[in-house]
């Protein structure tokens, strides 16, 4: 209902409801749906990797907490708009510009995204053998992205007409940052394939494919956010559902990357603890797979000197890699 004196919306009120309130309803439903699907990834992680490094476990626990809090926040917004303001259409619409809990929604979404992006920057840091030139540019772009959404939120509160430009800067930087992380990771992984044994090359290729597979949904969502927010520019909040999906898509990308270790270990002929599996040859030769969050992989140089590298840890520098290869 639009007001206490009328039980039927006018055409204008119906259009306002569909364009400015409907997207919030769709976004909240999608958020709860993805939380349920994401729960299976969390359960799989704690079932498969109970002996994982403490730092990784804490990172996943932090993601669980953030995901649940963000969904609670989303549900609260929907409850207030569609239940408490059931008879007050214009009051519900004005919440977009006056309610602090609703104004802060973009910042909370961006915070979850930044949390996952830091995880992937940490991963890139180890894949690049701790070379700052790969991580620093990404960090700068992500800082601009987060700062932009903070300024945009403040401009919405002031009802400034330039808030849309800051959102454009935010989504552009988010897209660029994700693309930089993905391309850099894939490049470094594929670069490491030169001169390696076929088995190791297959694992590295799988890691490169995984980088694209986990980044593609988030990057596409950010791109749609950018396009739709600029095309409609406040007249229609059709971009809201895509924005509300982003935290869960980020969480999926992080959990899929972590949980993929089991399949990658099987592909390398290893058991869950990194030892050779029962059906694999004890004399199989492989080169070093320099990555992180992949697990323990048995490494044999071409002179059949065997050692284990724990890729969950930062041990094993590029010099050690060169030394092993030179022995081959």
For residues 75 and 32, the answer to whether their CB atoms sit within 8 Å is: yes
In a domain, 299, yes or no: no
Q: For residue range 13-70, list pLDDT tens digits in order.
A: 888 888 888 899 999 999 999 999 999 999 999 999 988 899 999 999 999 999 999 9
6 pLDDT tier (thresholds 50, 70, 90) = low
Structure tokens at 276: 């050779």
- Choice between 307 and 146, residue whose per-residue pLDDT is larger: 146
Question: Could you give the percent of the chain with pLDDT greater than 70?
Answer: 77
The pTM for the full model equals 0.78
Report the residue count for the chain. Answer: 328
More confident residue, 166 or 157: 166
What tokens does 209 get? 């494919």
User: Is 314 domain-assigned?
Assistant: no
The pair of structure tokens assigned to 113 is 């995204």
pLDDT at residue 171 is higher than 80: yes
Of 78-92, 188-202, 240-254, least confident by mean pLDDT is 188-202
pLDDT higher than 90, residue 248:
yes
Tell me, yes or no, whether 6 lies in a domain.
Answer: no
Q: Is the pLDDT of residue 281 over 60?
A: no
Q: Which two tokens stand for residue 53?
A: 């490094």
Give the burial string for 137-169 (b: 16+ CB within 10 Å, else e).
Answer: ebbebbebbbebbebbbebbeeeeeebbbbbbb
pLDDT at position 269, please? 63
User: So what's the pLDDT on residue 19?
Assistant: 83
Residue 269 backbone class (left: φ over 0; alpha: ψ -120 to 50; beta: rest): left
Q: What is the mean pLDDT of residues 292-303?
A: 39
What is the arithmetic mean of pLDDT over 182-197?
81
Local structure of residue 15 (DSSP, 8 states): H
Distance CA 136, CA 39 (A): 33
Q: How many domains does the chain have?
A: 1
Q: What is the mean pLDDT of the chain?
A: 78
Q: How many angstroms separate the CA atoms of 213 and 207, rounded? A: 10
Question: Does the pLDDT of residue 186 top 50, yes or no?
Answer: yes
In a domain, 172, yes or no: yes
**pLDDT above 50: residue 310:** no
Read out DSSP for 267-295? HTTB-TTSSBPTTS-TT--B-----SSS-
Structural domain includes residue 236: yes
Q: Does 208 fall in a domain?
A: yes
Residue 191 in any domain: the answer is yes
Q: What is the pLDDT of residue 181?
A: 93
- Could you tell me the sign of the dihedral formed by the alpha carbons of 320, 326, 327, 328, in that order? positive
On the question of pLDDT at 293 being above 50, the answer is: no
Q: Are 256 and 282 in contact (CB under 8 A)?
A: no
* Sign of the alpha-carbon torsion through 247, 249, 254, 259: positive
Domain enclosing residue 174, as ranges: 11-267
Domain assignment present for residue 59? The answer is yes
Question: What CATH code is carried by the domain that includes residue 143?
Answer: 1.20.1070
């Amino acid at each position: 209902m639009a007001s206490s004196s009328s039980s039927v919306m006018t055409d204008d009120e119906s259009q306002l409801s569909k364009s400015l309130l409907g997207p919030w309803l769709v976004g909240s439903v999608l958020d709860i749906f993805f939380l349920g699907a994401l729960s299976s990834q969390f359960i799989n992680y704690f079932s498969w990797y109970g002996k994982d490094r403490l730092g990784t476990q804490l990172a996943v626990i932090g993601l669980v907490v953030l995901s649940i809090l963000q969904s609670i926040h989303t549900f609260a917004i929907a409850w207030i708009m569609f239940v408490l303001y059931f008879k007050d259409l214009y009051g519900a619409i004005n919440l977009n510009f006056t309610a602090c809990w609703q104004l802060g929604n973009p910042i909370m979404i961006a915070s979850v995204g930044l949390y996952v992006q830091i995880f992937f920057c940490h991963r890139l840091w180890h894949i690049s053998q701790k070379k700052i030139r790969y991580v620093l540019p990404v960090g700068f772009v992500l800082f601009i992205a987060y700062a932009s959404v903070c300024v945009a939120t403040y401009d919405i509160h002031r009802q400034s007409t330039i808030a849309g430009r800051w959102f454009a800067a935010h989504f552009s930087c988010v897209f660029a940052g994700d693309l930089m992380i993905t391309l850099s990771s894939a490049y470094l992984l594929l670069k490491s394939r030169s001169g390696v044994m076929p088995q190791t090359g297959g694992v590295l290729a799988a890691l490169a494919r995984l980088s694209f597979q986990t980044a593609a949904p988030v990057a596409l969502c950010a791109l749609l956010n950018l396009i739709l927010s600029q095309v409609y520019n406040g007249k229609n909040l059709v971009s809201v559902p895509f924005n509300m999906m982003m935290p869960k898509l980020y969480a999926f990308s992080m959990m899929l990357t972590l949980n993929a270790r089991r399949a990658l270990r099987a592909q390398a002929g290893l058991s869950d603890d990194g030892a050779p599996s029962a059906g694999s040859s004890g004399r199989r030769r492989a080169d070093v797979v320099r990555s992180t969050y992949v697990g323990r992989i048995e490494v044999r140089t071409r002179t059949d000197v065997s050692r284990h590298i724990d890729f969950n840890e930062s041990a094993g520098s590029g010099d050690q890699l060169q030394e092993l290869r030179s022995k081959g």
